[in-house]
Structure 1
């Protein structure tokens, strides 16, 4: 499995499609060979495979061959607010160091293809990105997007203390190098030993006025749980989850899913049991994931969320949520909701 091969929310594809349409590409062309359509693109509950997002990137490059630096243009659109719980966790961190640690620990809640690690020296710290296992045709786009997006996030977390950035790229100076000077405010190097975003080490331990340790700890836990629920299952349970997530799960029943898999519900039940799970358990897990994303990432009321998840009413939803998570929807929203 490639390091970047993890499921992600639909937000990144929305950003990429919006970029392409803005520059004249057709949405249908950008979604070609992805399995995504207008309905899934507009549905905040959609979970996207990494391969589908990569297909969108390839489509974007094919449709806009004259627009150099596509990765740079994309990167400037990845603000903290685009990342759901991960973004809220970073924004709530009491120090920059805690935010950076969280960002590295929960990379599977981001949209990166070039994974990163944190390195510290005497006076500087840096985020080092590795795009060595990214397919060659999207490697440049990936590293441009990832480092630019990281810079955008660091500016939002650190503020004016960040000063001028120092970024280095392993690839040779491209023909569109003037765009790097435009998007990055400080020193830019090419043909370097690593792909990195460097900044003063001193900012790591400065307290953040808007940070909150208790909220950050709660969101840290939520990030861990969300990754566990998004982790693709193997075998038949993975196929069931894919069907449920792509086709508005709360309107489907076991018989419909079994039919989609060309088997009887009895056979499906037996196969799921062999994988130590059940249809009800999978539905409950998906409901919890969607509920948490809507509670922390949207302004939908508890009543509206209950309706979307096909509970009889808000009370039934609240009771089920508390039974499965140990807390009420109101408690999660109070501590985990972003601005």
Structure 2
């Protein structure tokens, strides 16, 4: 059984909550049993576990049983701009093939529950989604959302060269099948052997006018770093990371964190050293992760970001960011806007 305790951006939860509110569900009902509240989902710094997002999905389905095709309706809202650095990396890719490679390599930065792979066969290529590990009660929502979101992204990457859509679903033709015809302009198959989005193979290697190989390579590196930082740590370091992420504003006080763990700061320092890390390293990693997400995924000013990350001022934040990433906050933000 797959574990759903890995972390992801709060953006997907924001999208799901907005959808639910639009159709009349209450915020309290949508956030029931998630550990989230209005302040946390409004905060771009928030990182949530996939299990919490699943709880939002379940609440959405429970509160809106009469709304057909909620997964399809949700999928329509997942544009490249919702994915932060991952989305910018795909948008800057020189070819669709490069974008597909990046999308597979960094699936941890997406909002999918179903893993996906790219397959090439004959004149066609396809994105295949494996939903076998997804809990049965949300499988339909998940696969509807993910294939529709993939179609949105492919349209943004491939443009008119994508041609007519061809999608296949393993589930039987549902009562709301007309929504599939509305959202997917081409062929839709049900009771198929696989869940997949099929497109012309030639599209993979056609140069993209808006692609930039240098920018794509840089963002590829940043995606890799972000995945590494998001990987759930084990042991004491994982608990410290959770405490730091929950605190608003984020505490730099090791004594307070140690007290929360019912130990002295000396003991905490020793236990972290045994896990090949330190309190300062954890703080720096979290600050960088949040800084990159806020710079690429929000319109907060550098001054506002510095304040939220507990730097003395914007200058101190910029110096620290350049020391840890090799570039200034302004350079990263400009790169994101170009793509």
| 3-state SS of 1:128 partner | strand
Aligned to 2:228: 228
User: Does the aligned pair in 1 maintain the 2:168–2:196 contact within 8 Å?
Assistant: yes
Q: List alignment gaps of at least 5 residues for structure 2.
A: none
Cα deviation for residue 274 of structure 1 reads: 1.9
Distance 2:333 2:17 in 1: 30
CA-to-aligned-CA distance 1:132-181 (integer Å, 9 cap, x gap):
01111111111111001000111111111112111001111112212111
CA-to-aligned-CA distance 1:14-49 (integer Å, 9 cap, x gap):
000011111111111111111111111000010010
Residue correspondence of structure 1 range 114-263 to structure 2 within 5 A: 114-248=114-248, 250-263=250-263
Aligned to 1:10: 10
Distance 1:230 1:200 in 2: 34
Cα deviation for residue 259 of structure 1 reads: 2.7
Distance 1:287 1:305 in 2: 10
Count of equivalent residues: 339
User: Does the aligned pair in 1 maintain the 2:244–2:251 contact within 8 Å?
Assistant: no
Cα deviation for residue 252 of structure 1 reads: 4.8
Q: Does 1:21 align with 2:11?
A: no
Distance 1:271 1:2 in 2: 29
Query: Which aligned runs of 4 or more in structure 1 are off by greater than 6 angstroms?
Result: none
Moved more, 55-64 or 170-179: 170-179
Moved more, 131-140 or 299-308: 299-308
Cα deviation for residue 270 of structure 1 reads: 2.4
Q: Does 1:315 align with 2:315?
A: yes
Aligned to 2:293: 293
User: Does the aligned pair in 1 maintain the 2:114–2:134 contact within 8 Å?
Assistant: yes
Decide whether aligned partners of structure 1 residues 46 and 338 sit closer, same or farther in structure 2, where only a CA change above 3 A counts: farther
| 3-state SS of 2:250 partner | helix
Cα deviation for residue 3 of structure 1 reads: 7.2
CA-to-aligned-CA distance 1:268-311 (integer Å, 9 cap, x gap):
22222221111111101011111111222233332332222221
User: Does the aligned pair in 2 maintain the 1:4–1:115 contact within 8 Å?
Assistant: no
| 3-state SS of 1:250 partner | coil
CA RMSD after TM alignment:
1.6
User: Does the aligned pair in 1 maintain the 2:4–2:49 contact within 8 Å?
Assistant: no
User: Does the aligned pair in 1 maintain the 2:171–2:190 contact within 8 Å?
Assistant: yes
User: Does the aligned pair in 2 maintain the 1:218–1:335 contact within 8 Å?
Assistant: no
User: Does the aligned pair in 2 maintain the 1:296–1:338 contact within 8 Å?
Assistant: no
Cα deviation for residue 326 of structure 1 reads: 2.3
Distance 2:70 2:261 in 1: 39
| 3-state SS of 1:94 partner | coil
| 3-state SS of 1:119 partner | strand
Distance 1:338 1:43 in 2: 25
| 3-state SS of 1:54 partner | helix
User: Does the aligned pair in 2 maintain the 1:6–1:49 contact within 8 Å?
Assistant: yes
CA-to-aligned-CA distance 1:206-265 (integer Å, 9 cap, x gap):
111111111111101110000000010011111111121122353452222223223332
Alignment TM-score, normalising by the size of structure 2: 0.96
Aligned to 1:69: 69
| 3-state SS of 2:199 partner | strand
Moved more, 201-210 or 82-91: 201-210
